[in-house]
Amino acid sequence: MSISQKTLKFLSKQSYPPELIYLFVASEDEKILYEQSVHFYLYNEIIVGVPGLVNQRNFITQYFDDGELIIEMDDDIEDIYCMFGNFKHMIQYGMKLINTGSGGLFGVMPNDDKRGMILETTTHLAFIIGTFSLRKNHHSIVLTQNTKHDYERSIMYFLKYKRLYRYKGAGVKTKFMRNEGGLQSQNRLDSLEECVKYLCDTYPNAVKRRTKHGLPDLILNWRYKG
């Protein structure tokens, strides 16, 4: 199973406490499959949520207490490269920023290209990839889009706090990031176009449309003040 060979394997190698790891699945059948396929000592609990990625993200938000700090990770993370220290040091750093600063969302670079990494943390509006983030939970922040919802969440948290924390000294490695071109069906292209249009219409000063690899995409305005 992908999660055993990727995200859970990564967390285990980082000695991250399994008692703090919750697996969210889409159905009772999927829970049974996970119980049969994933070693029990790698996690604390399997929780049945709802089908659909954005619906599951909203379910997770409602599941945990308002104000609780959440590390949210998808099941296909192969590695999170850190220029300095290790994953746990980076998490401690992000938690310290959120607890002592005035922001609610912490993330890293959306790829593991070391050429673009520096030991710097920005606070302006920036893209916080949904694959991995550390955030202060807010029941009031509800995602609405089937795609590009990590852009939507970035904007919503920036509007709430007037800052985001993106640490540029670490980055996520996933197979998804190497296969962005897998959105080629017409239905998915139409859905992507609708999401891009919605976000541009709803937050015209924060984001604008662009084309990337022939697909509708977004770019955030780092000068935006909210």
pLDDT for position 176: 57
**Which is more confidently placed, 190 or 35?**
35
> In the prediction, which pLDDT does 1 show?
78
Mean pLDDT taken over the chain:
94
Task: Give me the residues paired with residue 167 across strands.
Answer: 108, 121
Query: Which pLDDT belongs to residue 187?
Result: 80
What sections of 101-185 are H helices per DSSP? 149-161
Nearest to 118 by CA among 169, 62, 48, 80: 169
> Which residues, 6 or more positions from 17, have their beta carbon under 8 angstroms from its beta carbon?
none
> Which pLDDT score, from 0 to 100, does residue 188 have?
83
Instruction: Check pLDDT > 60 for residue 56.
Output: yes
Rg (CA), the chain: 17
Banded model confidence at residue 178, pLDDT cuts 50, 70, 90 = very low
pLDDT 10s digits, 68-100: 999 999 999 999 999 999 999 999 999 999 999
106 or 176, higher pLDDT: 106
Per-residue pLDDT of 31-48, as tens digits, reads: 999 999 999 999 999 999
**pLDDT tens per residue, range 95-127:** 999 999 899 999 999 999 999 999 999 999 999
Average pLDDT over residues 162-182: 79
Strand-pair category, 121-122 with 165-174: antiparallel
**Per-residue pLDDT, 182:** 46
